[in-house]
Every structure is written in structure tokens, then in C-alpha cells.
Amino acid sequence: MVQQIQQPIESYAPYAQGQTLVNSANFIETTANWCSCLQGQKPILRILDELANAMGAGLVLLSRVPKDPNMPSRALSSETRPDNYGSASARSFARNIMAGYLTGAKPGSVWVQSVVAPDHDEDLARFQRMRQFHELALIPLQSTDKHGDFLEFHFPRATSSNAFAHLNMIAPTLAATWQTRAAGTFTDSLLRHSKPKRDAAHQPMALSFENPCKFSRAEYRICVMFSRGLDSAAIREELGISQSTLSTHLGNIYAKTGCTGQRELVFFLMSGNEPVRSASHMERAYCA
């Protein structure tokens, strides 16, 4: 059974020569900058860069992973070696490590691949071989009944007990400040910096004929209008519905997509999805 780490991780990781070391001087400043960025004072990607450098990580991700395995995860990433290993990857492996604890893990805890998930995971192992990573550590930041938010650290070498001790020390602060972040922090950063990509599992497009989210006819039409750039007022006018009715439809749409607001919904609909342009296409794609 996977178990959460309950004590300082240095007791688990007596690494020696060639290990990744923490830059302690940068670590304190980076923690303060993390708090600032969550109030909109600094770009998130810059703080992810600082976390990667301070922790000696090759790749750091800030990820949002839906509880529903059929829904795509979304992530912001910073990689210290993109020139040598290609563009920075935004693939989250939180589900591979957390398994059934995905939305139940204590925020601010630290989960280390070699400790909590010693069983071989071929998908993660393939990624680590390709990118020459040695270890993965995750910090759950916030869990809801719909998704979990995580910080993911990929390390290129055996990681020192000192590095993991620093993660243990700062993880509760990272999680606590994340939970009091300015509204829209994550989604706004995705919209500014992320290139929409299909999830590794190649999920069907939300507005495709398959209608993978199982939208009702009204919900589907509303999503199409959002994907075309219409706002709530324009949608109400075009459909001739009240704000209360629109709010009811949006609540159902959020439940089916795992989104938490209109900005996140628009990003979800536009992330690799081709908006359906005609009423006839809407009727063909609709599934009751």
C-alpha cells in the first residue's frame, strides 16, 4: 500500500557522491517570491524557474489533475535543460504516483517516487529514461472533490537527504499560500504561457462529435458559444434565457469538465479543440 511520508525524508535517502544539492541561499528567497507570485506580483513561470534552480531539479511542474481519469490534466512547467532535451514538458505524473490518494492527500505533504511508489510504472520509467531523470517528488497543494493541484519536481541525479529535508520544511508553506492565492492565478497563467496540447492519453475533443463530456443539448450550445468568444450576456441574449438558467447550465458544465470557472472552461474548450461552427454540426455532435 502506498503510504504518505510522515517524517523527515532524510531518513529515507542517504545518497552520496553525485547527488543533487540544494542552493540554500536561493531557497529562502524563492519561498518568499512564491508567496508574492500567488498574489499576482510575480509571474508563476519565473517562480518555477527559481524553484528548479534552488532545488537542483531538472523539471518543475505546477499541475492540476482531475479526479476523473478521462479528463486531461493541465500544467505549467519550467525545465533547466530545454536546449539539450527539447522543449519543456508539461506532462503530469501525479496520477502515476498518487493513485487512489490523488484528491485525498494532505496538502503540504511530500511524496517521493522511490519511497511511496517503488513498484515499476512503465509510463513514468520511459519518460525518465528519455529525459535522464532519476527521481520524482510531489507536493499536494490543494485537493477538491474534482481535482488536485500539485508541485512536481523531477531530479536528474540521486537527490540528497538535504534537498528532501528542505522540501519537507517548506511544503506546508507552499500549500498554505497556494490555498489563499489570488483568484484565477493558475488559469490566467495557463492562458498566457501554455501552448494548448493534447493530453498524453489523446482524449477526444470536448466539442467533437463524440461529445466525451456528455453535454446536454443546451450545455453543448453554451460551450460552443464560449468557444466562439461570446460572453455570458451575449449567450443569454442569443438563447433567450435568464442568468439563473445560465448559471444552472454552467454548474452542470463545470461538473462534467472539472473546470472551476469560466476562464478555465474557455481554456479547456480551446486546448486543442476545434470549435464547432454550425448549428447542423452541433446537432450531429449532440448526445442526450
* DSSP-based three-state secondary structure for 277: coil
Percentage with pLDDT > 70 across the chain: 74
Q: Which long-range contacts (CB under 8 A, 24 or more apart) does 18-21 make?
A: 18/157, 18/158, 19/157, 19/158, 19/159, 19/160, 19/163, 20/55, 20/56, 20/57, 20/155, 20/156, 20/157, 20/158, 20/159, 20/160, 20/163, 21/56, 21/160, 21/162, 21/163
- pLDDT band for position 111 (50/70/90)? very high
Range of the domain at 239: 217-285
Q: Cα–Cα distance between 82 and 13 in angstroms, integer?
A: 28
Query: Quick one: 117 and 155 in the same domain?
Result: yes
Domain end residue (candidates: 143, 161, 193): 193
193, 227, 253 — which closes off a domain? Answer: 193
Cell triple for 213: 463530456
Model pLDDT, residue 203: 47
Whether 205 is covered by a domain: the verdict is: no
Last residue in a domain, options 193, 228, 262: 193
pLDDT tens for residues 114-162? 888 666 678 888 888 888 898 999 999 999 888 899 999 999 887 777 7
Residues 189 and 230 both lie in one domain: no
